Amino acid sequence: MKIDVLSLFPEMFTGVFGSSILKRAEEKQAVHYRVVNFREYSDNKHKTVDDYPYGGGAGMVLKPQPIFDAVRYLTETSETRPRVILLCPQGERHTQKKAEELAGEEHLIFICGHYEGYDERIREIVTDEISIGDFILTGGELGAMTVIDSVVRLLPEVLGKEESHLQDSFSTGLLEHPHYTRPADFRGHKVPDVLLSGNHKHIDEWRVKESLRRTWERRPDLFDHIELDPLHQKWLEEIKKESR
């Protein structure tokens, strides 16, 4: 996968792409990152990328020309048609399902805004508009990092175990079950006996029930988008009764 990022602050990505899973993914040649300062594509001698908004108002607005030309160059030199992703508060809320969808692409281009906003015409060249939540950030860089991390970890052979991401929160639509490691007794706080039993059937059932319990207690809204099988629905009803 190729990932291009258009940003006025490319140095922000150095540590992120050079660390942990994202670094490992590039070392395994599962992904190649390129961060482009779209100021380089400005066609005026001062290399300005923003201007005052028509109609007046506070703040500056990103001009369409530098971003249009940067995206056109990256698209024309691409072997496949890329998905062009605009990070913005008006975009669709990013989800695990969206990450899985993007992980199937060969080339992604992320546009990170700054200042008051984008010239509206920039939206004409994007395929996706994504928001990471209902809050305002200084720019789109942190949002792009978040989306990229969620996508790259899904690429084949990036994680240590192929099934690792399948057990993550939201991959099944539910929050993940609790995890424990050694020691079995830490200052009087003990690991549940079932996890020490060696009975994998009982362990699997415990994990599913705890996933249901944690989702019900912390994010019951997620059940509006999940269709449980009869057994899991029965366990959920038991959990609801226990919590009353």
Does 148 show up as a binding residue in the annotation? no
Taking alpha carbons only, the member of 151, 4, 148, 152 closest to residue 74 is 4
Q: Give Cα separations from 12 to 152, 188, 231 (angstroms).
A: 18, 43, 47
Does 135 show up as a binding residue in the annotation? yes
* 205 catalytic per annotation: no
The span from the CA of 37 to the CA of 16, in Å, is 17
Query: Helix (H, G, I), strand (E, B), or coil: what is residue 99?
Result: helix
Does 149 show up as a binding residue in the annotation? no
Supply 102's token pair: 């993007």
Q: Which of 53, 64, 89, 178 is catalytic?
A: 89
* 10 catalytic per annotation: no
Does 133 show up as a binding residue in the annotation? yes
Q: Which of 4, 82, 141, 153 is catalytic?
A: 153
* 89 catalytic per annotation: yes
Which amino acid is present at 137? L
Does 136 show up as a binding residue in the annotation? yes
Rounded to 10°, the helix 230-243/200-218 angle is 60
Q: Which of 116, 129, 149, 176 is catalytic?
A: 116
Which amino acid is present at 132? I
Is 8 in contact with 49 (CB distance < 8 Å)? yes
* Neighbouring residues of 130: CB distance < 8 A, sequence distance ≥ 6: 85, 86, 87, 88, 91, 92, 94, 98, 143, 147
Q: Which of 105, 168, 176, 205 is catalytic?
A: 168
Does 160 show up as a binding residue in the annotation? no
Does 68 show up as a binding residue in the annotation? no
DSSP structure class, residue 116: T
Annotated binding site for S-adenosyl-L-methionine: 113, 132-137
- Catalytic residue ranges: 89, 116, 153, 168
Annotated binding site: 113, 132-137
